[in-house]
Amino acid sequence: MSLAGKVAVVTGSGRGLGLSYAQELARQGASVIVNDIDQATVDAAVASIIDAGGKAAGVAAAVGSTETAKALVAGALEHFGRLDILVTNAGVLRDKSLLKMTDEDFDLVINVHLRGTFTCVREAYGYFKENNIAGRIIAIGSPTGQRGNFGQTNYAAAKAGIVGMVRTWALEMKRAGVTANAVIPVAATEMTKTVPFFRPAVDADERGEAMPDFYRKELGFGTADDVAGIIAFLASDEAQQVNGQAIGVGGDRLQLWSHPEAVASEFHDGGWDYATLQEQFNVLFASQLQSVGEKFPELPAELAAQIAK
């Protein structure tokens, strides 16, 4: 139990992926502060950890505000005397295409995902630095933030922003011995359950059966528990040299995402005026233009038939 003596806060950990993260951290010896907006949900999650032999306490509060961030750190200190690990998982969805998305839809998702990550990390890092703790920041991203996805302007902006903040924090926190990394999970969640493409995998999981290999291996799509291991690893001393990374995980697949890099560079004496761009841009770059959105391989016939039912 390499996390014995460590204390973790996991936001949005009353159910789903967040609960799996909290349970795995506790399984590896950490004491965990569970967070969600509903007290009954928090209590049930805390009980699941304690019943399994772990240590946990709860803070019911909506993530986003500085007040909640302070309450989460204070909860860790009150119940367990310290804080070593922060996992920012809390999130909401308000999916709509651009012209249908309201200001409220946009602001809510940005507030919980992006601002909530910022306020919680700021509070935790302040504690780490003041107390000379080589803490661990693990922020949860999404393939949508890496590649984009139809109907998710707000979510894509938030998740891309989280990865951008992680890269910045890795620079700012390095001297203090604190690491900051992003995890990009691909798993059966309330959101993916609604996507027909994933239905055979989700149905198998709900029946207590193994997901088809196509999903686990070709797509890197699995259960919430498949993601939890990387959370515990990044929280451990063994991950001290892992910093500023975006790590994808799901099913049987583990990935290291690259940082954005220029794929092609061209130079023109005197710069690139409008006329020169008209003449040369497509010639130089048409074959290098980057794709958007996730590209899924074709489903095997037997799985496609399940979806068509």
Q: What is the pLDDT of residues 200-209, one digit of tens each?
A: 898 888 898 9
Domain that residue 228 falls in: 7-187+223-257
Q: Do the domain assignments include residue 248?
A: yes
pLDDT of 49: 98
Q: Do the domain assignments include residue 25?
A: yes
Mean pLDDT of the region 172-178: 97
Res. 182: pLDDT tops 80: yes
Helices then strands, counting H and E runs in the chain, come out as 12, 8
Res. 273: pLDDT tops 70: yes
pLDDT of 116: 98
Q: Do the domain assignments include residue 71?
A: yes
Task: Encode pLDDT of 64-115 as tens digits.
Answer: 999 999 999 999 999 999 999 999 999 999 999 999 999 999 999 999 999 9
Number of domains the chain is built from? 1
pLDDT of 291: 93
Dihedral angle computed from the Cα positions of residues 255, 261, 265 and 270, in that order, rounded to the nearest 10 degrees: 170
Task: Encode pLDDT of 37-72 as tens digits.
Answer: 999 999 999 999 999 999 999 999 999 999 999 999
Give the list of residues 6+ apart from residue 133 with CB closer than 8 angstroms, or none. 82, 83, 84, 127, 178
| Contact (Cβ atoms closer than 8 angstroms) between residue 186 and residue 221 | yes
Q: Do the domain assignments include residue 18?
A: yes
Question: Which domain CATH number covers 32?
Answer: 3.40.50.720
CB atoms within 10 A of CB 282: 11
Q: What amino acid positions are annotated as catalytic residues?
A: 142, 155, 159
Q: Do the domain assignments include residue 176?
A: yes
Q: Do the domain assignments include residue 238?
A: yes
Q: Do the domain assignments include residue 35?
A: yes
Q: Do the domain assignments include residue 29?
A: yes
pLDDT of 1: 66
